[in-house]
Structure formats: structure tokens, C-alpha cells
Amino acid sequence: MTKLGRIKTMTIASLSAIAIATPIALAQTTSTTQDNKQVTSGERAGKHGRWAKGEGRRDGNGRRGHFGGRGGRGQGMMLAGVNLTDDQKAKMKSIRESFRERTQSLHQQLRAKHQELRQASQGGTFNEALATQKLQESAGLQAKIMAEQFNMRQQMLGVLTAEQKTQLEQKRAEFKAKRAQHAERKVN
């Protein structure tokens, strides 16, 4: 598959994910409790533990997430089990920092678009045309971020030796096999 084909596929996947996530985002509106106190859906779910309260795991920068702040979604996980030299670790850190600097404004713009989308659905009315416009704008930003993530991964792979790349491929194959076993257990 060519780079252009991959980007098109990733863009379509992003749009699909946004289309699926929109009803969820729109469902998180405010409601009134029995004592006429207005609460958000997260506050209503407060008795369901720390995840519903928005606590959960945080990385070293105070951000929530499962993968932490290692330069994008799970870059620390990508290299788990691969022994890096100190020089390689420094280069990886530099690549991640560069990625973070390049994408910081894109992430801010994306958060703003999501906020605009939430605001467009408040007040009990839903403007489908405005929501569609905001989703399309978000998809463009997500595609740019994904392209930067792809670029970062390629730079990181360029730092690895041939032996480390083989080691990484073996880890990926093991992960895929475990994931397939887990999915199979869920189905049965």
C-alpha cells in the first residue's frame, strides 16, 4: 500500500471514529437531579469509582491516559522489551520532544473543535450542519496528527539497529498473538 493510500485509509478511519464518538460526546450533556441541581454525566456516575470521577492513571505531566506521556499513543509500549543504548535513548527522547512541539498546536486546535462541538449540542437543540462542519475540521486535524505520528515512528525505527528491529518485530508478533487469543476468549 502506498503512503497516499495509507493516509487515505487513516483519514477514513479517523472520520469513522469521530462519527462513532459523536453520539457519545453529545450524550454527555447536563441533566437535573431530583433536588433540581444540575449535574454532568460524570458527576452522576461518581459512585462508580475513580475512573468515572476522572481520576485514573496519570503520566508524569499530570495528563490522564493509559500510555502516559511518551510521545504519542504508546510509543513507550512500542519499544518495550527492546534494549536501547544511552545514546539511542537520548535520540528517542529528542524525537518525542520534537513530535510534541510539532503537534502541540494541533492538539490544542483539536480540543477547541471538540469543545465547539459540545457547545453546539447544548441547550437542547442539535445543529447537524454545524456538527458535521466541526467533525470535518476535527478529522483534518486528526489526519495531520496521525501523519506526524507516522513520521515519528519512522524516525524512531531509524535509530534502531537491525537486531533491535528484529527484536521489535518478534515482540509485535507476540502481542498480536496474545491479542487474538484474548479476542477469541471474549467471543467464546
pLDDT at 29 over 90: no
pLDDT at 4: 60
Is 142 within the bounds of a domain? yes
96/45: higher pLDDT: 96
How many domains, in total, are found in the chain? Answer: 1
Strands 31-32 and 38-39: antiparallel
- The C-alpha cell at 154 is 519512522
pLDDT at 23: 53
54/157: higher pLDDT: 157
pLDDT at 82: 84
Terminal C-alpha separation, the chain: 34
Under the banding of pLDDT at 50, 70 and 90, the label for residue 97 is very high
Is 100 within the bounds of a domain? yes
Dump pLDDT digits (tens) for 66-92: 333 334 444 466 777 788 999 999 999
Question: 0.75 cut: is pTM over it?
Answer: no
Contact predicate 83/164, CB 8 Å = yes
Is 3 within the bounds of a domain? yes
pLDDT at 18 over 50: yes
- The C-alpha cell at 114 is 471538540
> What's the CATH code of the domain at 118?
1.20.120
pLDDT at 38: 47
Dump pLDDT digits (tens) for 114-152: 998 888 777 777 778 888 888 999 999 999 999 999 999
Is 43 within the bounds of a domain? no
pLDDT at 96 over 70: yes
Q: Which residues are CB-contacts of 1 (< 8 A; sequence separation ≥ 6)?
A: 9
Is 74 within the bounds of a domain? no
Domain that holds residue 137: 1-24+87-161
Average pLDDT, the chain: 74
Place of cell 449540542: 121
